[in-house]
Amino acid sequence: MIDEIMEFNRKFVESRGYEPYLTSKYPDKKLAVLTCMDTRLIELLPAALGIRNGDAKIIKNAGGVTNHPYGSVMRSLLVGILELGVEEIMVIGHTDCGVQGMDGKEMLKKLEERGVSREHMDIICHSGVDLEKWLGGFSSVETSVRETVKSLKEHPLMPKDIRISGFIMDSVTGKLTRAEE
Ligand SMILES: [Zn+2]
């Protein structure tokens, strides 16, 4: 697959396929979006929001969560705000998310089946990392979005003038509904 991608890339650049995407690093809509890495949202999410190349900072991970108050998501949002002019943040969960109902215990079992030693997992757990919780999912996407919004609003490093709101996107139609707080 990588060879095919490399070949496509060569032709893309040669035929100047990049021209419609030319823009700057500053988000024109002064917007950051925190959302899920789900494959159905790759093109659907920007299309359904009317976001084009250059419009927004889009931060993605499994579930569209912050995961850790001083992890990469919060850091990325602060870079967007302080260096790139972001004024508004949308947290967007989506229907039928793979992270919903994910079981940390099951994930550790799968790791063991893939040859990762249980002993290593135990050592990590004994060093104070709750692996089951870390790999576990959320039970409700609405609750997860609301909690993420709350944690961002209450984060001690979040500037108070930043507007933060939560939404759920329909993974098929792209319809956006507010996750009421
Ligand atoms: Zn998802």
* 102 has pLDDT over 80: yes
| Stretch 121-150: mean pLDDT | 93
Distance 45 CA to ligand 1 centre (A): 12
- Which pLDDT tens digit goes with each residue over 78-92? 999 999 999 999 999
Ranges assigned E (strand) in 8-140: 31-36, 56-61, 88-94
Distance 7 CA to ligand 1 centre (A): 30
Cβ proximity of 54 and 24 under 8 Å? yes
Distance 15 CA to ligand 1 centre (A): 34
| Three-class SS state of 151 | helix
Give me the percent of the chain exceeding a pLDDT of 70.
99
- The pLDDT assigned to 92 comes to 98
- The pLDDT assigned to 67 comes to 85
Domain that holds residue 34: 26-102+137-178
Is this prediction's pTM over 0.75? yes
Residue 79: CATH number of its domain: 3.40.1050.10
Write the CB contacts of 157 (distance below 8 Å, at least 6 apart in sequence).
Answer: 74, 78
Question: What is the band of 181 on the pLDDT scale with cuts at 50, 70, 90?
Answer: low
Cβ proximity of 169 and 95 under 8 Å? yes
Distance 10 CA to ligand 1 centre (A): 32
Task: Tell me the pLDDT of the chain averaged across its residues.
Answer: 95
Write the CB contacts of 44 (distance below 8 Å, at least 6 apart in sequence).
Answer: 169, 171, 174
In DSSP terms, 164 is beta-bridged to 89
Write the CB contacts of 170 (distance below 8 Å, at least 6 apart in sequence).
Answer: 94, 95, 176, 177
Does residue 159 form part of some domain?
A: yes
Tell me the C-alpha distance between 34 and 73, whole Å.
Answer: 8
Strand pairing report for 31-36 and 88-94:
parallel
In DSSP terms, 88 is beta-bridged to 31, 163
Distance 46 CA to ligand 1 centre (A): 15
- Which pLDDT tens digit goes with each residue over 143-180? 999 999 999 999 999 999 999 999 999 999 999 999 97
Amino acid letter for position 102: M
Does residue 84 form part of some domain?
A: yes
Does residue 3 form part of some domain?
A: no
Does residue 49 form part of some domain?
A: yes
Give the chain's domain count: 1
Distance 34 CA to ligand 1 centre (A): 11
Distance 95 CA to ligand 1 centre (A): 8
Distance 31 CA to ligand 1 centre (A): 20
Distance 36 CA to ligand 1 centre (A): 5
| Stretch 124-147: mean pLDDT | 93
Distance 164 CA to ligand 1 centre (A): 20
Question: What is the band of 108 on the pLDDT scale with cuts at 50, 70, 90?
Answer: very high
Does residue 123 form part of some domain?
A: no
